Amino acid sequence: MKNVVVVGSQWGDEGKGKIVDWLSSESDAVVRFQGGHNAGHTLVVDGVTYKLRLLPSGIVRKNKISIIGNGVVIDPWALIDEIKEIKSKGVDISEKNLIISETANLILPFHRELDEIREDAAGKTKIGTTRRGIGPAYEDKIGRRSIRVIDLASEKFLDSRLENALTHHNLIRKSLGKEIFQKDKIKKDLIKIAPQILKFAQPVWKKIDELKSFKKKILFEGAQGILLDVDHGTYPFVTSSNTVSSSAATGSGCGPNSINYILGITKAYTTRVGAGPFPTELTDDIGEELGKMGNEFGTVTSRKRRCGWLDGVLVRQTIKISGINSIALTKLDVLDQLNEIKICVEYELNGKKIDYFPASALDQLNIKPVYKVFKGWKSSTKGINKFEDLPENAKIYIKEIENFLQIKISSISTSPERKDTILIENPFEI
């Protein structure tokens, strides 16, 4: 048995979808363990494109169990819409292949509105939230006033939980001059949708324990990237959950000894969506070219991504924080036509060289990247699936990444197509 966690080693959008899809075909169950419908994967399977937001990547493959863990916050209406959308493409979704944790917390309309109100009022201090209510829902979870999936099973208990939540939210809304939410309207809407959600609800921890006892292969699928982790990311420009690999255990209800291998997905350059520090950002023609060639637009929001050189210091740091065993290098082909390529190998801060990304938000904005420069290969790597067939300068670039990060590269992606992958090491077979 080998259970694998997949996490993004940058600010998300590293191309996890393709890698997760390949690994899901090797696994028996795929578990989503954190985040909400603010992050997504784009999968291309047999020529059909699937854009997933809440559903785990295993859902598009037959005979796989897909699990939404307790660490995920769920907008029930968004989930039902996504299920309908994926079903319309010929995918079977039922209680046999989709399980939702009965203790997962719900995103409700007042969470979405609060998210929008705060972001609109933030002015120049905007975080860049997707306005989907993720942060406010996690706040309610920590504040112990959240509505959980299992609460939908009792109208009386649901009424009590809504009363508690709205006491808090309506006070905020009144102070902002906003109309208060009516409990009966929300309760009616939730009762209406409850059967469609509850039919998938189970004790996920119990299901995972059962899968382990039968020696099944489990893939734990992270959303976003480690640099958006609420503790270890570029705070406050982060998401509202822990995106590191250890969250796979807490977000699904299994012990850390259930995790056997951690794969970090790393883009051959760097992107981020929304506000926040970005030491290697390129605001010139090269940055525009990377965005164009890499089709750098968000799966969920369609927002244009900021682009820059690979920040080796940041990735090395996330590897250590998340205990990553190897990385899957993606989007190598996007660099094909560049004359030269750079990797950030250290920073300069107040005239001094440092080898790590500082915690201070002020220092993060003031650091300057120090680069190592490489000659481009000026030829296509698209579709190559053997390392020896790569251009010599591409091999040099890849080997330098390995050496600097002090970690093995287990696969290299040379196009969005699943077949266009140089596979060096299969995490499930180690």
Residues carrying an active site annotation? 13, 41
Buried b (16+ CB within 10 A) or exposed e, 243-280: bbbbbbbbbbbbeeebbbbbbbbbbbbbbbbbbbbbbb
- The backbone region for 383, taken as left when phi is positive above 0, alpha when psi lies in -120 to 50, beta otherwise, is left
Chain centroid to CA 286: how far?
26
- Give the chain's radius of gyration (CA, Å): 22
Round to whole Å and give the CA distance between 389 and 46: 26
Structure-token pair, residue 37: 């419908």
